[in-house]
Structure 1
Amino acid sequence: MHEILTIAIGHRPNHLATQFFNCQEELLSNLSEKVNDPSIFLQPTIDRISKTVSYAPRGLLWDAKAGFGALATYQYHGSGDYYYADNASQELQSEMIMTQPRIAKAEYQSALDSGVDELPKLSPETTKYWSDYAKLIYPATSFNSLADWYHDVSNPNLPHFQKFDSRRFDNFEIGYQEFDDNYANDFLDGNLHAQLEQCDTLQGFNIITDMDSSWGGFASSMLLELRNELPKASFITWGYYQADPLTAQDPASARLTKRNIETLQNKIRSTVGLSEESDLVIPLYADEQLSNWEQAGLSCKIFDTVNALASQSNPQQRRSLEDIISCLTLSDVSRKFVSSILGAEPVDSSFFSRVALARSQPVHQHVFNSCRISRCSQPLAATPNSEDKTMKTYAYYPSDTIPEQYSQERSFTIEFSSTEIARNVFMQYEDVVSKYFRHDSDREELKDKLASMKSCYEYGWYDDEFSDDDM
């Protein structure tokens, strides 16, 4: 076996991980077709007495306190996430002290537990938490919680500090130091080690994170430690990018204000930090008009397609993470960003494709490399053209938790491309750093790194670019 671990860092990434593992559970119910090897992404436990096998996700989920919803750390065993006993009075009478309100179990989860035939239909209102519709039981070692930051239902992707609205988990440096100072050693020696012990031959990681908040800094610090700990593993980073002034189509929305400059600072630092240690970066557009459940259902179509290559049962068609990365980058380690994702939806799903072109950029962007992944009912069909870079895998098996509008197609092709548009993105980031990071200690370092990243996507000659005037 060549296992792959998925680490989801933040509430929105946990929704995507949940949808993906639900799709893996859907495949378990279709074992008669044997299209995949479930042990790549799921940990099997064999009961030799009853001669049955149970599966748990090979996943590590990070969230703020109360972000797990009704789910306790030890699922279906106790509720210690919500209260504790006062040991001083334990001999006389245990006093239960509530630390936060108990969250009621979702109707969908209650229906799963009761084993009813017809499950209730999901909606944005019934899927506030990813645990509201998780179909597999996670091991206790999957759960990792921030100690001082609490989940906010009204703003689920930005935890607040000790329940104070005035301080949010919205700064790259806060997230970076939070992991480095408080969690690095315990996480590596604890839950990560426990997950690694369940792997025979680990091939790599999926890292899913938000890029516009402290979660990006948290992920950057974690990835640096993971790379030092497991230098031979492959790392694919899936980053959620929200809209910003650089993606705006109208002048009013494109104005840079103090608030959106701070958001851009997080995005830029996360992009640079995560790219240094990742083998491949896939920037996903996070539509703020969608709920986390809907966004995860949309993104799962892409996430599941890439990972299906690594788990399909036929050894002739199966690809390792290293093979997938090599195909998507054309073995050029300096070009690790996927700047176009076509075929999953009518519009390009890559965030980079939404960044407005700089004035010096040509309308038609040069394509350095493209690779297609085809999902079909007969993935063994021969490829007549030897130059056709199409990797084939089994059809899509969406879980019933995927929103209906994203689960209709089972056979489709998604094209991933590395294009000149990445240069445009890094050039605009470099301009923002030059103009608005005036007093930041890492200003010059960021400019140098972005200039280097930009140069990897240059093609031909260019007219005048942004001014580097710091006046």
Structure 2
Amino acid sequence: MQEIFTIGLSNHANHVVTHFFNEQESHFDYTGIGKSDLEPEVFFREVKTGNYVSLTPRALLWDLHGGIGKLPGSQRVSAESPADPDFSLDSDFKVEKIVQPPIPESNYQKTLDENKPVFSVDDTKFWSSYSTMIFDETRIKCLEKWENDSGNGHLRSAESVKFDDFTVGADVWKDEGQSFIDNSFRKELEQSDLLDGINLIVDIDSAWAGFGSQMLQDIREELPKKTILGYGLFQKEVNLKRTISRIHGFLGMVDNCSLVVPLFQTSESLYESSAVESVVVSSINGLFNSKAQDQVSMTQFVDSIRLNSNRNIIGDVFWDDKLLSGPLCPGKINNRNQYVYSRSVIHRGKGPTNKFYSNFDYLKSQGTSSRGMNQYNVSPLGQPQTFPQIVDNDVYVKLDINTKPRQDLLNMKDIVKRYVSYDEREELVDHLLSLAEEYEYGFIDED
């Protein structure tokens, strides 16, 4: 059986990961795992403790200090920074050790341990507080020098230094990356017999974008041909400085991921926004471990929507009639008529498929290849107790590769030409123009 593991980079990403694995766990039939409507070994691996066997997610998670909370079960992450081996007390400075009070276990985790779980939205500040699964503690990493906050985070020793720029994250990876690749990443690979691909969920509008881009380059050196499905988490609005950072982070994903799915934050609450985003993640990944007839591998899914082209950016992401993607870089280029190269629709429900939603007949009349129109039917979306009440019927997730990325890439090019330093400007402009050409179709009207 194929295996897929998931990497979460940022507090926001880990909320999405938590919803995803909670949804997966809701399909388990504990009277006999073989009765479940999915293949658990795709996203989970067995952990044996004595005579007891449990399942843990195939996941590698990164967060900032103060963002993890108290992990359920026996999982623990140090709340204090590791000792600096080069630090000496032989100095004139007064050293004050600040020990933060321990984070209490959430009420949900307490009641879950008693097999009488009681959930409340008050238990959602930390993603670990409402996780129904126990993650492998050796696969959860913390950037101890950086503090989680209501924004993107800041340096613990200097609050004015924000964790919000691509270059900051890239520099942090230089310090942290090799150890992660040598230990956690390769250990996860060793525990996979038949790795099909990797889910990477990363916050693009923070320093995690630079951290993730550097990570992707190193992963590509390890696994040059493996499928990597990237989910980029975007904020609704960013200023000019962070737009330039966004461009670098987005290109890092496009250059190294097999497919890029942009998702825009829908709520100030990470718990609520990540739940919406997880519907897309869960629905796509539901194809890869479903026992239904429409099961496909991650590689097959990506190939079916890319159609042997270099186009790997999803232009539109819909959940039912809700658009979850958006303009990545607003500007003067705005193509009103979008051509759809390929469309994949995932139906999660027991009722008959609504063909009107797919609208394949219209696409065919506009020239879309029948090879690029794919309809999948998988098991209904699981709704664990921890999931907000936002799903009341069948779920349809629609993914289009269309000409929309062209306008974003050209608008990015304009910003780079005006605001990026000369030493990197020319190479970036050429790269953006080359990518934009992949999304041209027919007569181009720039007006």
The bucket for the TM-score relative to the shorter chain is 0.7 to 0.9
Per-residue deviation at 1:429?
0.8
Deviation digits for residues 289-320 of structure 1 (CA, Å, limit 9, x no counterpart): 33111011101111001001000124x43211
Per-residue deviation at 1:372?
1.3
SS in 2 for 1:311: coil
> In the alignment, residue 429 of structure 2 is paired with which amino acid?
K
Counterpart position of 1:408 = 392
Counterpart position of 1:396 = 381
Alpha-carbon distance change, 233 to 79 in structure 1, aligned in 2, over 3 angstroms: closer
SS in 1 for 2:288: helix
SS in 2 for 1:448: helix
Question: Does 2:167 correspond to 1:173?
Answer: yes
Alpha-carbon distance change, 25 to 218 in structure 1, aligned in 2, over 3 angstroms: same
Q: TM-score, normalised by structure 1?
A: 0.82
Preserved contact between residue 379 and residue 393 of structure 1 (Cα < 8 Å) = no
> In the alignment, residue 418 of structure 2 is paired with which amino acid?
K
1:241 aligns with one of 229, 234, 239 = 234
Per-residue deviation at 1:110?
1.8
SS in 1 for 2:134: coil
- Partners of 2:100 and 2:298 lie apart in 1 by 41
Alpha-carbon distance change, 105 to 441 in structure 1, aligned in 2, over 3 angstroms: farther
Counterpart position of 1:41 = 43
Counterpart position of 1:310 = 288
Alpha-carbon distance change, 463 to 318 in structure 1, aligned in 2, over 3 angstroms: closer
> In the alignment, residue 162 of structure 2 is paired with which amino acid?
R
Preserved contact between residue 76 and residue 137 of structure 2 (Cα < 8 Å) = no
Alpha-carbon distance change, 442 to 394 in structure 1, aligned in 2, over 3 angstroms: same
Counterpart position of 1:250 = none
- Report matched runs for 1:450-461 at 5 Å: 450-461=432-443
Counterpart position of 1:429 = 412
> In the alignment, residue 4 of structure 1 is paired with which amino acid?
I
Question: Does 2:243 correspond to 1:292?
Answer: no
Alpha-carbon distance change, 460 to 54 in structure 1, aligned in 2, over 3 angstroms: same
> In the alignment, residue 316 of structure 2 is paired with which amino acid?
S
- Partners of 1:107 and 1:243 lie apart in 2 by 32
Counterpart position of 1:185 = 178
Preserved contact between residue 4 and residue 205 of structure 1 (Cα < 8 Å) = yes
Alpha-carbon distance change, 398 to 268 in structure 1, aligned in 2, over 3 angstroms: same
1:376 aligns with one of 343, 346, 349 = 349
Counterpart position of 2:94 = none
Alpha-carbon distance change, 83 to 403 in structure 1, aligned in 2, over 3 angstroms: same
SS in 1 for 2:260: strand
Structure 2: unaligned runs, 5 residues or longer: 86-96, 354-360, 362-369
> In the alignment, residue 103 of structure 2 is paired with which amino acid?
I
Deviation digits for residues 344-381 of structure 1 (CA, Å, limit 9, x no counterpart): 143211234x765745x44221111111122233899x
Counterpart position of 1:129 = 126
- Partners of 2:240 and 2:77 lie apart in 1 by 41
SS in 1 for 2:397: strand
Counterpart position of 1:139 = 136
Alpha-carbon distance change, 85 to 357 in structure 1, aligned in 2, over 3 angstroms: closer
Preserved contact between residue 83 and residue 99 of structure 1 (Cα < 8 Å) = no
Structure 1: unaligned runs, 5 residues or longer: 88-96, 246-259, 466-471
> In the alignment, residue 323 of structure 2 is paired with which amino acid?
D
Counterpart position of 2:148 = 151
Deviation digits for residues 224-262 of structure 1 (CA, Å, limit 9, x no counterpart): 0001011121101100111236xxxxxxxxxxxxxx111
Counterpart position of 2:326 = 351
Counterpart position of 2:315 = 339
> In the alignment, residue 384 of structure 2 is paired with which amino acid?
S
Preserved contact between residue 83 and residue 100 of structure 1 (Cα < 8 Å) = no
- Partners of 1:285 and 1:329 lie apart in 2 by 22
Alpha-carbon distance change, 29 to 291 in structure 1, aligned in 2, over 3 angstroms: farther
> In the alignment, residue 363 of structure 1 is paired with which amino acid?
R
Deviation digits for residues 20-55 of structure 1 (CA, Å, limit 9, x no counterpart): 111111111475753110010011235684xx5311
Counterpart position of 1:255 = none
- Partners of 2:246 and 2:278 lie apart in 1 by 22
SS in 2 for 1:236: strand
Preserved contact between residue 329 and residue 411 of structure 2 (Cα < 8 Å) = no
Alpha-carbon distance change, 238 to 440 in structure 1, aligned in 2, over 3 angstroms: farther
- Partners of 1:78 and 1:239 lie apart in 2 by 28
Per-residue deviation at 1:163?
4.6
Counterpart position of 1:327 = 304
SS in 1 for 2:343: strand
- Partners of 1:84 and 1:170 lie apart in 2 by 24
2:402 aligns with one of 398, 419, 435 = 419
> In the alignment, residue 338 of structure 2 is paired with which amino acid?
Q
Per-residue deviation at 1:143?
0.6
SS in 2 for 1:148: strand
- Partners of 1:357 and 1:461 lie apart in 2 by 20
> In the alignment, residue 56 of structure 1 is paired with which amino acid?
T
- Partners of 1:79 and 1:230 lie apart in 2 by 29
Q: TM-score, normalised by structure 2?
A: 0.87
Alpha-carbon distance change, 164 to 182 in structure 1, aligned in 2, over 3 angstroms: same
> In the alignment, residue 23 of structure 1 is paired with which amino acid?
E
Length, aligned pairs only: 419
Counterpart position of 2:91 = none
Deviation digits for residues 364-416 of structure 1 (CA, Å, limit 9, x no counterpart): 21111111122233899xxxx987621222221122211112x323x332221
- Partners of 1:323 and 1:77 lie apart in 2 by 35
- Sequence identity of aligned pairs in percent? 28
